[in-house]
Amino acid sequence: MIVHCAIGIVPSSVVLTGFQVMSRVFLTWAVTHSVREVQSEDSVLLFVAAWTVTEIIRYSFYTFSLLNHLPYLIKWARYTFFIVLYPMGVSGELLTIYAALPHVQKMGLYSVTLPNKYNFSFDYHAFLILVMISYIPLFPQLYFHMIRQRKKVLGHAGDYSKVE
């Protein structure tokens, strides 16, 4: 995905795509895989379903765009479904991290305590809380960016009945 952006196959920001890929790897590996107790949470299904539908729409959009035959329905889906899918995915992600917190704290997962030969400490539990807090400024920025993109690409409500 990042390589596709870097070489220009898809017109997305390498930085934003990199951030998205890394956050998905983090949530999949460092939270869901590492804390087995959360794997059966409904929140995992929530974010995985949102990610899956999002990627099906995104790559259908990119594929048809590359073929120079983009059906309006796919363009509309690309710039409309995020309205529900983005909050759904973020909710699933946050609920999963939240469900992992007590287990991470109890196990001391990925935490490094003092004293040690590097004179360094890291509290993974606190880190996860900071990750959750980071959603507060980041989510609205990214969500409203997509709202602006939607308006730019699809235009006003009266234009939604167009067929290409």
- Long-range own/partner contacts, residues 151-157 (CB < 8 A, 24 or more apart): 153/75, 153/79, 154/75, 154/76, 154/79, 154/80
Report phi then psi at 113, rounded to 5: -110, 155
Q: How many helices (H) and strands (E) does the chain have?
A: 6, 0
Q: Indicate if 164 belongs to the active site.
A: no
Cβ pair 119, 53 in contact under 8 A: no
106, with CB counted inside 10 A (0-12, 13-18, 19+), is exposed
Q: Indicate if 55 belongs to the active site.
A: no
Q: Which of 62, 79, 93, 124 is catalytic?
A: 93
User: What span, in angstroms and rounded, lies between the C-alpha atoms of 109 and 91?
Assistant: 23
Q: Which of 86, 98, 110, 143 is catalytic?
A: 86
DSSP string, 6-27: HTTSS-S-HHHHHHHHHHHHII
Active-site residue set: 86, 93
